[in-house]
Structure 1
Amino acid sequence: MKSYLILISSILLFSNCKQEIKKSENFSPLLDYQYLIKTNNDFKIPTETYKIRYKSDGLEITGYLTKPKDLQKYPTIIYNRGGNRDFGTFTPKSLIYQQYLASNGFIVLSSQLRGNMHSEGEDEYGGKDLNDILKLIEINKSLKYSNQNIGVYGISRGGLNAYQISRLTDEIKAIAVVGAPTDPRLDFDTRPEMYEKVLKELVGDTINFKKEYDYRSPIKWVNEINEPTLILHGADDWRVKPINAELMIEEMKRLNKEFDYQIVENGNHGLSTHTTIRNEKVINWFKKYLK
């Protein structure tokens, strides 16, 4: 009983100190509700983060909106999460990173996507869940403090989704990806569990659902990616092998696409080992094309 009381007290303390929530008037008519999450950071531009709920295909989806506190108009980064289902959903640590991006002069919109503890529906790993990201573009249109220039950014599965969104809309101006798969089948030999426990369950087998895998393989349709693209990948990435980025770079060159890239030596998946390189390149990329 004593341990149980200590656990409950710790949860309440964390909630009061880090996640005190305040109801506020919605920024957009497309939001079912929004709550201001009280957080502390010392970034050069003060930011504020809101937990939001919105409908996508009739499903209730949870997301976040982070913006500078002042009243200027800023461009928007749609930040796509990695992982699948409950794995990789946004956490308080993830929100700090979104606040960091916002502190560099951006509005940041993100979605937990469908099919996890936060949102209704089923995760399709780059299927109908893309509508949850496209809905953020619609929400952004109604934000009076947005200058309506949108970039899409993602790490891992989020990078794959960024490529897919580029293919589905002409309403974005640039994309940036980190550790993104460009054909999930490239990694089956080194990560068979990714196929058996994730993709086979969410997409189907590669024989009967080949078209679904092609749909999730940007390397198959590079010609349809028309926005300036930044490709970053860690040379030591074991989750998504560097060959994914290397093949995309070769094809981008062949098609004379507007893009930049770096394969970071000793870099891991997501480049959490080289955050300075990752963050500077991503921020400078979006400043170049969105400001």
Structure 2
Amino acid sequence: MDFINKKRMPVDVSTHIFEEVTYQVDGLHVRGLSMTPKQQVKRIVIYLRGGKGQVGKVRTGRLLQFSDEQTLVFGPYYRGNNGSEGKDEFYGKDLNDVTAAIRILNHKYPNVHIHMIGFSRGGLQGLLTFQDLPVSSYIIWGGVPDIYLMYEERVDLRGMLKRMVGHPKKQSEAYQQRDALSKITKSSPPILIVHGGEDRQVGIHQAYYLAEQLDKIGTTYRTFYQMKEGHVPKPFALDEALNTVKQWMTDVEQHSIKDDYHLNNKI
């Protein structure tokens, strides 16, 4: 189990090697961007991009934000994007592009903690997959937790959703398959919710809704809300959010997620 092709990317970073890798999923050749440390790998971060097509695509700068000298960061492009074969199904079989990559990396580095980070559209991408994978935690950052809320609130996206998924009533089964909250359990890996209070693309009430549902389920989670920030935080706030995410991963790895895990940080 491994990637079937690796193409060195012209990115000059002294601590890591950037490669565009190809792997096989459902008979398709799917690509992703891998950032592998030159030192021993002690942590893996899977970055699940937002958007569709060229909007929100995986970029080297975004992967670098989650790295240190011993962290491997990988971002799947999803099928139908950036040279990957197939068609993006918006939380359909493209979910397999996430799970296959993680299983390859888990096979290559069997004793290394894996953390998933889902941004925007990637939020639901991760919620639909993380509980069935060998991962230590999941971070949903400005992420969509519920496809019904997406359809209801993002009128500008309804045309795209109707084309790719259908109508919530007419194609109810397709929407039920994308209902992530019904699949999360008390024993699912712990979740960190990161969100901006002034996010206009994915309103912070969606983060509140996710937290409420996790409370009901009994899933371990924390929240980190930056009340003056939008979908993408400003530079100083971004550093603070990244530090929080990295500390979360360390806490999970050290088994120091305490009983006050429903901690609500608002800045």
Per the normalisation by structure 1, the TM-score is: 0.79
**Contact 2:186–2:218 (Cα < 8 Å) also in 1:** no
Structure with the greater alpha carbon radius of gyration: 1
- Which residue in the other structure is 1:16 paired with? none
- Which residue in the other structure is 2:162 paired with? 200
Question: CA offsets per residue over residues 163-188 of structure 1, 9 Å max, x none?
Answer: 11124x14111100111112233244
Instruction: Give 3-state SS (helix, strand or coil) of 1:271's partner.
Output: coil
Give the aligned length: 253
- The structure carrying a bigger helix percent of its residues is 1
AA partner of residue 159 (structure 1): G
Unaligned ranges ≥5, structure 2 = 255-267
Instruction: Give 3-state SS (helix, strand or coil) of 2:102's partner.
Output: helix
Once the two structures are superposed, the pairs formed by residues 89-128 of structure 1 within 5 Å of their partners are: 89-90=57-58, 94-103=59-68, 105-128=70-93
Once the two structures are superposed, the pairs formed by residues 32-71 of structure 1 within 5 Å of their partners are: 32-41=4-13, 46-70=15-39
Q: Equivalent pairs: percent with the same residue?
A: 24
Distance 1:225 1:182, change over 3 A: farther
**Contact 1:222–1:251 (Cα < 8 Å) also in 2:** no
Whether 1:164 and 2:128 are equivalent positions in the alignment is: yes
Question: In the aligned structure 1, how far is the partner of 2:93 from the partner of 2:234?
Answer: 29
- Which residue in the other structure is 1:139 paired with? 104
Question: In the aligned structure 1, how far is the partner of 2:133 from the partner of 2:21?
Answer: 25
Unaligned ranges ≥5, structure 1 = 1-28
Instruction: Give 3-state SS (helix, strand or coil) of 1:134's partner.
Output: helix
AA partner of residue 31 (structure 2): T
Q: Indicate which of 145, 149, 152 corresponds to 2:116.
A: 152
* CA shift for structure 1 position 270: 3.8
**Contact 2:147–2:175 (Cα < 8 Å) also in 1:** yes
- Which residue in the other structure is 1:75 paired with? 43
Q: Quick check: 221-230 or 172-181, which moved more?
A: 221-230
- Which residue in the other structure is 2:3 paired with? 31
Distance 1:75 1:66, change over 3 A: same
Question: CA offsets per residue over residues 129-175 of structure 1, 9 Å max, x none?
Answer: 0110111122113425x6332111110111111111124x1411110
- Which residue in the other structure is 1:85 paired with? 53
Per the normalisation by structure 2, the TM-score is: 0.86
**Contact 2:17–2:37 (Cα < 8 Å) also in 1:** yes
Question: In the aligned structure 1, how far is the partner of 2:66 from the partner of 2:33?
Answer: 13
Distance 1:31 1:177, change over 3 A: same
Distance 1:251 1:141, change over 3 A: closer
